[in-house]
Every structure is written in C-alpha cells, then in structure tokens.
Structure 1
Amino acid sequence: MRILITGASGTVGRFLAARLAGEGNHVTALGRRPAVDTALEFARFDLSKMSPRLPEADALVHCALHHDPGKFRGGQGDDPERFRKLNVEGTRALFQAAKMAGCCKTVFLSSRAVYGDARRGETLHETDAPEPDSLYGQVKLEGERALEELCDTRFAGIALRVTGVYGTPPGMDRHKWSSLFDDYRSDVEIEPRCATEVHGDDLAAAVSLVLQTPERGFDVFNVSDLLLDRRDLLTLVSECSGIKGVLPARATTLPGVMDASKLRQVGWLPGGLGKLKAFVEAGCRGE
C-alpha cells in the first residue's frame, strides 16, 4: 500500500511510520523538511498551504499538528487564530488533496479532548455527543467533521480519538515520562495525577488495523488502554530500579475513560499492564 503520513518525525508519528514501513508499505513522509534520522521517502507539505499537491497514494495518515513545541492542549500559545486556521483549514485542504491524489482512505488522529473534561470519572463512548472545552478539542472535532464531509463510496475516513501516548519513540532516547522519572529519582515533589494511556506501538497497530478494513464512509474509534495513576507508575519504577523516592499521593479526581471495545471488536489487542511493566523494566535496564 502507498501511504502518506504527516507528522512522521514527531513523537507519535514515529511509532506509526515505523509500523507501517515495517509491514512492507511504501511510506512517504509529508512535511516542511525531511527528518535527518529517517529513511522514509519525503514529499514537501505545509499546513499553511491551502492548495497542496500530494503524490499519488492509496491512503493518508494525518497526525501532524501545528502547535507550540511540547504542547497540545494550550498549544495555540499567543496566536489562537493561527492555531485554528492551520489546524482546521490546513487539515481540510490536506484531506481534499488526499482525495484528489487517489487516496481511498484517510486516518485522522483526533483526541479524547473532543469529549471535554466535564465528564470526569465517566465512561466515554463514540456515540456520545462531543463537548470540547478547549481550543485543541474544538480543532480536533472540526478536523473530524471536515473529513466526514468528504467521505463517499470511494473515499473512507476514520477518526481515531486517541488518549495519552507513552513509550520511547523509534529513533529517540527520551519519552513523555523521562522528566517525571528524573524528578522521582531526585526526590523532587511530584503532583498527583491520574490519566489514560496507550503505548505508541498499540496506537500504531490500531492505525494499521483500520487501514486494512474494507468499510467505506466515515467512522470513529476510541483508542485507550490504561487508567494510570502516577503513584502506581512510579511504584513500578521503584520496584524495577530499587530507587526509593517519595511517591506522590493518589489522585483524587479521575479523567473520563474512553471505552475502546468498538476497536477491540475488529481485532485490536493492546498490551495493557504487561506492556507498561515491560516498558518500565526496559528503561530501568537502560535499553
């Protein structure tokens, strides 16, 4: 399969690009400049270009986001209008260009943020009415709707509403919890927090899976695996490393938890707690 992917050099995109290329697909990274540490074919693309021309392909995976470095929610910085324009209008133009380039399917990495944060502790289903309460969530929802508008019998669109992604991305040494683990080893006080998580490899498996489904039209899937309290995560670090840092208190509030049974029904099998333990153990061994 000829697959175009945006954001291939990013933290999440690296997992997806590695999986898709490893399965024998012809993967082309779309971006402003080629990444120095990847062998992927490259084609120039910028979200600010409202009439992009894309190489012919069978499918598009869109996981790029214009944002301030290191931020997703709140990534608009001091320029929310530009953030909205590039991530909504730029995304719409990208989907249109993908359809014109012959893509039969587009996978859009959306977010749990489309549900908003008002339903803390509740179970979130794909059939629930989205209620984003952040600009990031609004932008992701508008991206979903832009994709749905283009779908027909020849062009399928799938939005994956993704939770937090953990794991060390291919080609990188650090991960989302590197600073947290450093603070724990240094006895820095850590704030309580509980969040939902999925390993990047399992997200990549979800993308690969939905690319292979024959359905047409538009569909949405939740992608989430674990409800994880920082205290439990750092307890694993302590058990694996022998370091006895100061554990944070258990969080008193829970996030909304996305029900991923719809994705599991089509064959998705995330690694669960076993994969989390393996990740922590490998990190403690320096792998």
Structure 2
Amino acid sequence: MTVLVTGGTGFVGGFVVEALLRRGDDVRVMGRAPGCFSAPVGFVRGSLDPGRDMSAAFDGVTRLVHAAFDHVPGRYRGGEGDDPKTFRHRNLDGSVALFQAAKRAGVERAVFLSSRAVYGVQPPGANLTEQMEPHPDTLYGEVKLAAERALAAMSDDGFRGVSLRVTGVYGPDAAGRPHKWSDLFDDYLTGWPVEPRRATEVHGDDVAAAVLAALDAPEPPPVLNVSDILLDRNDLLAIVQAATGSPHQLPPRSSEPVNAMDCALLRSLGWQPGGRDLLDRTVRAMF
C-alpha cells in the first residue's frame, strides 16, 4: 500500500506517518518542507492551493490521508486570524481540489481528518453521535463540515471517503515544539490559579490507529468519531502532582456540562484506545 499523507510533518500527521511506517507501508509526505521520521519517506512539495496541479503527487498512490490544515500558528478555532476569506479558500477549496485530484488519479480511499468542532452547539451533556445534525459555531467547524460533505459527495464504488471527527489530541512534545499542556503545567507548578475545565481528549497514537482502521476496513462508515476520555483538569494535574511531588493545591473539579463523543462505530472496526493508562504514562514521561 502506498499512502500519501498531507500535513505529515504536523503534530497529528506525525503520529499517522509513524504508524504507517511501523506496519511497513510505503509512505509519502506532502508539505512545505521534509520532516524527520524513524524511517525514510518520500517527499512531495505541496500546499493547500486549489490552483496548483497536484496530479503528480498521486503517481502510484493508493490511499490518501489528508491531515494538512492552513491556519494561524497554534490556533485551529480562530485560525483564520484577520483573513477568513483566504482561510476558507485554502482549507475548503484546497481540500476539495486535493480530493478531486486523488479520485482522478485512481486513489481508492481518502481519509480526512475533520474535527469535533463540526458539531458546534448541541444540547448540554448530550453524547455526540455521527447521526446528529451538526451546528458548527466557528469558521473552523464550518470549513471542516463543508469539506466532509464534499468528500462524501465524491465517494463511489471506486473512491471511498472517510471523515474522522477528531477531538483534542494530546501526546509527547515533538522536536522543537511544546506539548499542548505545557503552559497549564507551568502555571500549576508555579502555584498560579488554574481554572476548572473538562474536555474530551485522545492520544495521537490512537488517532493514528483510527486512521489505519479507516484505511483498512472493507466498508467503513463515511463519518467516524475519534475520542477517548473525558478529562477533568483536576485529574490531569493530579498525575503531575504525583510525578513531581508538587505541594500546590489542585483546581476544583469542573461542573461544566460536556458533550462526550460516542465512538461505537469506530470501536466496531476494532479500534481500542489507550484510556487512562495511556494518559498516565504519557504525562509521567513528560517529567
């Protein structure tokens, strides 16, 4: 299997590339510059430019994983900055052009990394299922949902698209980049007040495993939720406290209602995330 991964040098894309390499796939990465991986990968220079001819990138490729996203550094929601028109043009029109090029080249399957942001505003505390009507309340969510729908409209017997609605992703810090909780941990260890909060999370390795499941399943659903744990900052920082011996008080538990994600469809494909044990191991390894 030859897999082209867009955005493979990014945080989430890196987990996907490494998972493909571990199982022996031929991997190509599309991006602005080559990355550093555990084994050789092919490199295709490219970006989310709908006016660019991307046909050569798909020579010999049988699978596409689209993880690239053009945004203000460090921000997804609100990643349009002060230029929403360009944000939409690159991330929506650019994604649609990429899917079209893949289909014309004979790619059999495309996996798109979408986001839980497509759900937007839902009843407080309700579980999010793939059958719910999305109500995105950010431009980020709107663009992801529009790209999902474009991919679904292109899908047929020869080209199947699968969109993964991924929640917040955590994992070890990548080379030269702090992990997502760096500032939070610093605040806690310094003794500064930490606001209560709960959120859904999934490890990058589990996102990669979801991508592999979507690539391999004979007839995967067109949309799959990807989430593992509902995490309170109190529980997260309790791991930090145990790992460091910090004397500082933990924040109170959040009473805020959170929409957990139902991942029964993904689990039916054999996906088994790492849960609290993986969270504990990952956080402890950060110290």
Interval containing the TM-score (normalised by the shorter chain): over 0.9
**1:14 and 2:14 matched:** yes
* Structure 2 Cα separation of the partners of residues 206 and 62 of structure 1: 13
Q: TM-score, normalised by structure 2?
A: 0.94
- 2: distance between equivalents of 1:161 and 1:233? 23
Q: Distance in 2 between matches of 1:246 and 1:156?
A: 50
Q: CA separation of 1:17/1:36 partners in 2, compared to 1, >3 Å: closer, same or farther?
A: closer
Aligned counterparts of 1:237 and 1:169: Cα–Cα separation in 2? 15
Secondary structure, in 3 states, of the residue corresponding to 2:15? helix
Counterparts in 2 of 1:64 and 1:120: CA distance versus 1, 3 Å = farther
Quick one: percent identity of the two aligned structures?
A: 48
2:54 is aligned to 52
How big is the alpha-carbon RMSD for the aligned residues of Structure 1 and Structure 2? 1.6
Question: TM-score scaled by structure 1?
Answer: 0.94
**Partner residue of 2:255?**
252
CA distance in 1, matches of 2:7, 2:279: 25
Aligned to 1:205: 209
Give the residue type in structure 1 aligned to 2:23.
E
The alpha-carbon deviation at position 37 of structure 1 amounts to 6.1
Gaps of 5+ in 2: none
Residue matched to 2:265: 262
SS at match of 2:285: helix
Instruction: Give the distance between the partners of 1:169 and 1:241, measured in 2 at CA.
Output: 18
Aligned to 1:243, the other structure's residue is in SS state coil
User: 2:108 corresponds to which letter in structure 1?
Assistant: C
* Contact residue 12 and residue 169 of structure 1 kept, 8 A: no
1:225 aligned onto 2:228:
yes
Counterpart of 2:184 in structure 1: which amino acid?
L
1:166, distance to aligned residue in structure 2 (A): 0.5
1:172, distance to aligned residue in structure 2 (A)? 5.5
Q: Which residue of structure 2 aligns with residue 32 of structure 1?
A: 32
By how many angstroms is 1:45 displaced?
Answer: 1.4
Aligned to 1:41: 42
Deviation at 1:240, TM superposition (A): 2.0
Specify every segment of 5 or more residues in structure 1 that has no aligned partner in the other structure, as ranges.
none
> After alignment, is 106-115 or 52-61 more displaced?
52-61
Counterpart of 1:86, as a letter, is R
Distance 1:109 1:169, change over 3 A: farther
Q: In the alignment, what sits opposite 2:184? A: 180
Is contact 1:107-1:207 (8 Å) kept?
A: yes
Moved more, 223-232 or 161-170: 161-170
Instruction: Kindly tell me the number of residue pairs found equivalent between the two proteins.
Output: 283
Give the letter aligned to residue 63 of structure 1: A
What is the one-letter code of the residue matched to 1:213?
Answer: A
Deviation digits for residues 111-168 of structure 1 (CA, Å, limit 9, x no counterpart) = 1111103433210110111111111100000010110111111001100000000011
Whether the aligned pair in 2 keeps the contact of 1:196 and 1:224 (CA below 8 Å) is yes
Q: Which amino acid aligns with 1:222?
A: N
Shift of 1:173: 6.1
Aligned residue identity for 1:275: L
| More divergent stretch after superposition (259-268 vs 165-174) | 165-174
